[in-house]
Structure 1
């Protein structure tokens, strides 16, 4: 599919601490999932960055679920070049686990460059990617697919392929209801507002204008040097220096329960690796 034919890389490993003795090899601790990636650089294509990130998170989630099925807790380390500066939407999605993107300009996802002077900008609307990718808005593989299915689907053809049912689901989505500024006025045709009150079509429930993930991640970096207060820099070139490289990890948290029995996060006690 065209949206995902950009250059990127992602590696996900499941590591287990082992002890080799004369009696044999034994496991001595919980598994550790380590992921590394390099997302697209293009500052204008935040939609592609989010799709690439969702694929990485879906792979991590699938690996964690295999551990949970065995009753094991799996800690996570995610690192790499995310081509996004701190506190911008892509970074916030990783840290907070949630991003409301409805109508958000694609250039704002990473914050790499100030492109606000450009009037024409690609905006983000649901769904962000075709259903054939097999990933929902929780950055998880859907029940009827897996990573191998998605990989084989993307390699079958370089053309975008959508089913008739999928196109019907987009009939009244926000992007389809936006009226182009240069639309020619044709009475009775282009001056009619879509009426969705009588539409019985079941819309795609995978996307609700919010991306989420269930991984509890924190950043190793604080993004500000403790003494000087200057921003941290991980890459330096002729146009300046910024932070685009990160190490995220599963923190060990202390929990408490409120009167309703809801689990509350208190503080980060220590790293889990």
Structure 2
């Protein structure tokens, strides 16, 4: 007897297209960074919701000098030999100094310092150059004026069709920069980088005005860039996407937004309005420049010039308490037409981003 599968080929074998299969694999590999970006944004949004839910149950307390407090006993066997019958708290103690961020120096009621606590508190009080654990953000202290600033850098996804991911990346950076600024006493914020968005775009509007109604804008034109198609890459936002997050039957909103896309952009289920708490100003718009290198609102005419694109996608934003006095002037269009940007000619003389 001869098995049927030997004499009769299965549809999988009969309709196998080697060229189409290879092309499909290439397209899936090209979309892999975007799928990873989606997973990162969903993970960050989930962590934010968990943090908000936890913080609702936390009763925050702050103390002032001369307040009486109790200190929790160390976990484990008490040194006095009381074992598990020892008190959970010891004290009272008196607050002597307040350093902020939940750090205090305490003494007993007679004014005697505790033997172990002062070293910990003094070390934190003198730490003038802390670093944030958030990627792309750090706090910088001026050595002359002793003033701190939060500096953030970002390179936003290029794909013009994925306005939800681009907006989500910008939102996450602004939220983390604001939290870090508030943690250090409302210190100034500077945001710089390649936003892959034009000055006339909705993302630029969000940064400048601090708010945005997403449903008034097309997801595929959030950055103001035209969709680029070439022989090497064709942007198809739906290839492999619906299978990865299962939203093929999601309810469509105005301008083609789905619930999943709104969630990626806003970080909140069902929300369609975005708002950030930083009052940002564009450094280039704040400093007058040459008409040959600036547009109507003061932004550079071009920070990127090559065969497929010419325009401004790189920016420096700062909070309103900072006043820029000078910026590096960009090249004129005539020069860029001959050299392009990025270019090996200006690789060591000018920073591309």
State the 1:129 CA deviation. 2.2
Cα 1:210–1:238, aligned 2, differ >3 Å: closer, same or farther? Answer: same
Once residues 124 and 2 of structure 1 are traced to their aligned partners in structure 2, the CA distance between those partners, rounded to angstroms, is 20
Greater RCO (CA < 8 Å, at least 6 residues apart): 1
Residue 335 of structure 2 corresponds to which residue in structure 1? none
Higher-helix-fraction structure: 2
Superposition pairs of residues 1-273 of structure 1, within 5 angstroms = 4-5=38-39, 11-18=136-143, 28-68=145-185, 73-102=186-215, 104-113=217-226, 123-125=256-258, 128-129=262-263, 135-136=267-268, 207=271, 209-222=272-285, 226-228=290-292, 231=295, 232-252=301-321, 270-271=323-324
Deviation at 1:61, TM superposition (A): 1.6
Aligned equivalents of 1:45, 1:114: Cα separation in 2: 11
Map Cα deviations across residues 109-156 of structure 1 (whole Å, 9 max, x no partner). Answer: 0011168xxxx997235562269x9x55xxxxxxxxxxxxxxxxxxxx
By how many angstroms is 1:238 displaced? Answer: 0.5
Contact 1:102–1:126, Cα closer than 8 Å, also in 2? no
Q: Could you state the TM-score of these two structures normalised by the residue count of structure 2?
A: 0.42
> What secondary structure is seen at the aligned counterpart in 2 of 1:214?
coil
Which structure has greater strand proportion? 1
Instruction: Say whether the 8 Å CA contact 1:84–1:110 is kept in structure 2.
Output: yes
- 1:103 Cα deviation (Å)? 5.6
Deviation at 1:76, TM superposition (A): 0.8
Distance 1:62 1:237, change over 3 A: same
SS at match of 2:310: strand
Provide the C-alpha distance between the structure 2 equivalents of 1:130 and 1:251, rounded to a whole number of angstroms.
28
8 Å contact kept, 2:202–2:217: no
Give distance in 1, aligned partners of 2:258 and 2:215. Answer: 5
Q: For 1:250 and 1:123, locate their aligned partners in 2 and report how far apart those are by CA, in whole Å.
A: 33
Superposed displacement of residue 57, structure 1: 1.2
Please tell me whether the aligned partners of residues 10 and 56 of structure 1 are also in contact (alpha carbons under 8 angstroms): no
Contact kept in structure 2, 1:10 and 1:38, CA below 8 Å? no
TM-score between both structures, scaled by the size of structure 1: 0.53
How far apart, CA to CA, are the structure 1 residues paired with 2:208 and 2:316? 11
Gaps spanning 5+ residues in structure 2: where?
1-34, 42-133, 229-237, 239-253, 296-300, 327-353
Aligned-pair Cα RMSD in Å: 3.7
Question: Which residue number in structure 2 is paired with residue 196 of structure 1?
Answer: none
Cα distance in structure 2, aligned partners of 1:84 and 1:76: 20
User: Are 1:77 and 1:250, in contact at CA under 8 Å, matched by a contact in 2?
Assistant: yes
CA-to-aligned-CA distance 1:164-185 (integer Å, 9 cap, x gap): xxxxxxxxxxxxxxxxxxxxxx
Distance, in Å, in 2 between the alignment partners of 1:57 and 1:86 is 18
